[in-house]
Amino acid sequence: MARQSGSIAASVSERGAHRAERRGSALLDVADLSVTFAHRGAPTVHAVDGVSFTVDEGEVVGLVGESGCGKSVTSLAIMGLLPRRGVQVSGRAVFDGRDLLTLSDDEMRDIRGRDIAMIFQDPLSSLNPIVPIGVQVAEVLIRHRKLDRAEARRESAELLDRVGIPDPQRRLREYPHQLSGGMRQRALIAMAVACRPRLLIADEPTTALDVTIQAQILELLKSLVRESGTALIMITHDLGVVAGMCDTINVLYAGRVVETASRRPLFAEPRHPYTVGLLGSIPRLDGAREDKLRPIPGSVRDVLPWPDGCAFAPRCDRRVDACVGEPPAMTAAPGGRAYRCVNPVLAVTTPPAALAKEQP
């Protein structure tokens, strides 16, 4: 779980500055979501600090950022899966007209798996090692769709078939350790889509898999989403994953959204220096040999607490005096995009030919 260190005092919320032009009825509307971890004897940690974004029906939204930027915590908070003790969640997460953060445990349990499902990072540890795959898939069907065992079994086989697991009848009887990594993730995806949820949250679904399998799993997710009209929140640190499938991308840094844009504008003209840095640190096969990777200097630990200025400032090469002192506000820009930067990378400074190899 991503936890950001730092000691932000009172978080300055900028409710809705950039959300003015949002459409009226989103499937999921996360507004000013904050999560703080307070353990006795340890400094309070603001893992998520006023995150806002929306997901429309059938839309694929990316949450992108380095580890520790709060992406996973955001998703767990939406699902109500964070531990109660020492964790404080505030803000709103309105799904289909209901604020998920205020629902009772029972109501939330009914929504989980049926309306919103989640796919986790490590498929091996997300499956119960001593229960056959079939039983685990059937469990969801019995729970939410009230099928009896025989029906659930039949349906499970169909589901495995749908997610591209060959010989599903046999696989249903097998245990997680008998399946390959890709198969396991497919099985988990089958469990997640078993009840045709309206929203799917995939938390780094391909990180634990090898590269060839990653592509297959992404392809599978893409086709499932397309066929069923399920909305998808794609949580990843890999902009390559995002490029292939997301409609809208939210870049997170130190618990806040620093840039929101549709896929094309984001990749073509990134505004926030952090986004630029992320794009610059993707290895390119077609780059010239002498092209070095340009990692972002420093690490997520080198943050400035948001109230004192831009958290990215210590690592930023476009830093100006205005970066420090007060947190930069979300600036709305044409095309529904917004960024949180006082000295953004502007399109005019970016010759189109050098898009991928961003300056400065």
Nearer to another protein, 22 or 143 (CB): 143
Contact between 189 and another protein per CB under 8 A: no
Residue from 9, 42, 81, 293 in contact with another protein (CB under 8 A): 81
Region of 18-26, 50-58, 136-144, 261-269 interacting with another protein (CB under 8 A): 136-144
Residue 128 makes contact with another protein by CB under 8 A: yes
Q: How far is Cα 306 from Cα 328, in angstroms, rounded to an integer?
A: 9
Q: Does 341 bind another protein (CB under 8 A)?
A: no
Q: Would strands 60-64 and 231-236 be described as parallel, antiparallel, or unpaired?
A: parallel
Among 31, 35, 63, 79, binds another protein (CB under 8 A): 79
- E-state strands within the chain: 28-37, 45-55, 60-64, 87-95, 98-99, 116-119, 199-203, 231-236, 248-253, 256-262, 331-333, 337-339
Cis peptide before 360 (omega within 30 of 0): yes
Segment contacting another protein by CB under 8 A, of 104-112, 219-227, 253-261, 287-295: 104-112
Q: How far is the CB of 355 from another protein (least distance, A)?
A: 38
Any contact of residue 188 with another protein (CB under 8 A)? yes
Return the residue of 34, 54, 72, 126 that touches another protein, per CB under 8 A: 126
Nearer to another protein, 121 or 248 (CB): 121
Does 145 interact with another protein (rule: CB under 8 A)? no
Nearer to another protein, 160 or 310 (CB): 160
Q: What are the CA-CA distances from residue 89 to residues 28, 51, 97, 117, 261 (Å)?
A: 17, 11, 19, 20, 26
Residue 205 CB partners (closer than 8 Å, separation 6+): 119, 120, 121, 185, 189, 217, 218, 221, 234
- Interface segment toward another protein; rule CB under 8 A; list 94-102, 170-178, 238-246, 344-352: 170-178
- State which of residues 129, 334, 352, 360 lies at the interface with another protein (CB under 8 A): 129
Using CB under 8 A as the binding rule, whether residue 149 contacts another protein is answered as: no
- Per DSSP, the three-state class of 76 is helix
Task: Find out whether 317 and 300 touch, Cβ atoms under 8 Å.
Answer: no
Q: Which residues pair with 250 in a beta bridge?
A: 63, 260
Applying CB under 8 A, the span of 59-67, 78-86, 253-261, 340-348 interacting with another protein comes to 78-86
- The contact pattern for another protein, residues 192-211, with x = CB under 8 A and - = no contact, is x-------------------
- Of 94, 133, 191, 266, the residue at the interface with another protein (CB under 8 A) is 191
Q: Contact between 14 and another protein (CB under 8 A)?
A: no
Q: How far is the CB of 347 from another protein (least distance, A)?
A: 41
299 sits near another protein (criterion: CB under 8 A): no
Is there a contact between 299 and 68 (Cβ–Cβ < 8 Å)?
Answer: no
Distance CA 230, CA 225 (A): 5
Residues 134 and 173: beta-carbon distance below 8 Å: yes
Tokens found for residue 207: 């990180």
- Distances 216 to 58, 126, 225, 241 between C-alpha atoms, Å: 21, 19, 14, 12
Per CB under 8 A, which region of 86-94, 96-104, 175-183, 339-347 contacts another protein?
Answer: 175-183
The DSSP-derived string for 284-322 is: -TTS-TTPPP-PPSS-TTSPPPGGGB-TTGGG-TT--GG
d(CA 310, CA 189): 38
Give the interface with another protein as residue ranges (CB under 8 A): 79, 81, 84-85, 109-114, 117-118, 120, 122, 125-131, 139-140, 143-144, 170, 173-175, 177-178, 188, 191-192
